[in-house]
Amino acid sequence: MRALAVPPGSSALSILPALEKVLMDRGAALAPVPSTDAGHSILHSLRVGEDIDDDVALVVTTSGTTGPPKGALLTAAALTASAHATHDLLGGPGRWLLALAPHHVAGMQVLVRSVLAGTDPVELDISSGFDITQLPGVVAKLGSGRRYTSLVATQLAKALTDPAAAAALAELDAVLLGGGPAPQPILDSAAAAGISVVRTYGMSETAGGCVYDGVPLDGVRLRLAEGNRIVIGGTTLAKGYRNPVDPDPFAEPGWFYTNDVGIINEPGMLTVLGRADEAISTGGLTVLPQPVEAALSTHPAVRDCAVFGVADDRLGQRVVTAVVLTDGSAEPSLASLRAHVARTLDVTAAPRELHIVDTLPMRGIGKVDRQALARRFGY
C-alpha cells in the first residue's frame, strides 16, 4: 500500500490517473490523505508501505473521534458497485461537481463515479472554504446532460443564502446530501428553491452513501439487531479495518454493525434515529440527540443546533443544547425551547440547559463534534 497525497484546492483532480489505475486492478492499494499530512502519523498508523490484501483498492480513514485511524478496506468491486448503483438510482451516469475533500469517502466517490462513467469532473476549490460565489461558474462548466454534486448540510445552507448559488444548484439533476441529518428547514428551503436534494446515509465502511432517501441501493442489505442497531451488508461493504477494533463490527461475515439506531418500515425504507454511542441517559430514560435537534431546528430563532449530554448528579446526565441563532433573532428562553420540543417529543427529551454559540464545532465531513461541546460545557 502507498500513500495518495491529495493536494489542496484546484489541484485535487491530479489524483485521477492513480485512482483509475487502482480501480482497474492495475496498481497497489492507495491510502488517500491530505498532502499536508503525507508525512504525519496517519500514514504510520495505517502502515503505509507494508503488505495488504491484493484486492484492496483504497484504505479510507473514518470520521471517528478517538484512537488511531481504523482505515476501511475498500475493494475495487465495492467502490464500483456503489458507483454503478448510485448512477442507476439517479437516472444514469453524468458529470460531477467535486465540492468535498476527496480524502473523505464522499468526495472520493465523486471521483470514482466520474472515472467509471468516463466523464470529467469539475472542481470547486474549497481550500479556503466553500465559496458560494463560485457555484454559478463551476456549474456552467459541467455543460449539458445529467449533472450531479455531493454536499453536506452546512454547504447547502450557505448556498441557500445566495439566490445565484441556489439557482445554480437547482440546475443539477441531483444534489446528494450526506455527512449527517439535515435540519428540516434547510430541506424545505432547498425544495422551495427547486433543488433536487437526495438525502444519503452511509460511511467509509459502506463505500459512501448506501441508502438514498431511505431506500437501499441495489445490492445493499439492511436489518436491525438488538436495540434497533442498524446492520448493513451487500456489495458495497468494506472487507474490514486496517487496524481492527474490539468488538469488531465486521465480526459477522458479510455484515457491518453500525453504531446507528433506526427503524425499517414495511416496504423496507430506513429511518435513522441517531447514534447509539451519542445517546443521553437522563433520569433512567434514553434520549437520542438527533430527534431533539430536528424539533429545535423548526423554531424560528434557531439556525443550527446540537444536543448533547453532560454529567448531572441527580439525573445521571442532563440534556443540553448549543444553538446558533438565526440572523436578527432575539435569544429565545430555555422555557420557550423546552415548550417547542415538547410539542412533538416527550418533555424528557427537552433540553434543560441552553448555550448560545456563534458556530458549532465540526469533525470529519459535516458532522457536529458533540464531544467537544460536552467538554466545553460540562464544567
At 79, is the pLDDT very low, low, confident or very high (cuts 50, 70, 90)? Answer: very high
State the cell numbers at 354. Answer: 441552553
Given a contact cutoff of 8 angstroms between Cβ atoms, the answer to whether 23 and 78 are in contact is no
What pLDDT digit, counting tens, does each position of 189-246 carry? 999 999 999 999 999 999 999 999 999 999 999 999 999 999 999 999 999 999 989 9
* Portion of the chain with pLDDT greater than 70, in percent: 97
Q: How confident is the model at residue 45 (pLDDT cuts 50, 70, 90)?
A: confident
Give the pLDDT band (50/70/90) at residue 66.
Answer: low
CB 171, CB 147: distance < 8 Å: yes
pLDDT higher than 80, residue 166? yes
**Which is it for strands 72-75 and 56-60: parallel, antiparallel or unpaired?**
antiparallel
Domains in the chain: boundaries: 2-272, 279-377
Amino acid at 374: A
Write the class of the CATH domain 279-377.
alpha beta
Q: What is the pLDDT of residue 332?
A: 96
Higher pLDDT, 183 or 80: 80
Whether the predicted pLDDT of 7 surpasses 90: no
The DSSP letter of residue 159 is H
pLDDT at 67: 64
pLDDT band at 39 (very low <50, low <70, confident <90, very high): very low
Q: Report angle CA 291, 364, 375 to the nearest 5 degrees.
A: 65
pTM over 0.85: yes
pLDDT mean over 17-25: 93
What average pLDDT does the segment 66-79 reach?
Answer: 88
The band of 37, judged by pLDDT with boundaries at 50, 70 and 90, is low
Alpha-carbon distance 361 to 177, whole Å?
Answer: 19
* Statement: residue 65 has pLDDT above 70: no
Q: Which helix (H) or strand (E) holds 90?
A: helix 76-90
Q: Where does 133-176 have alpha helices with state H?
A: 135-141, 153-159, 163-170
Does the structural domain 2-272 have CATH classification 3.30.465.10?
no
- Give the pLDDT score at 42: 78
Using CB atoms within 10 Å of the CB of residue 293, give its burial: 0 to 12 exposed, 13 to 18 middle, 19+ buried: buried
What average pLDDT is seen over the chain? Answer: 92
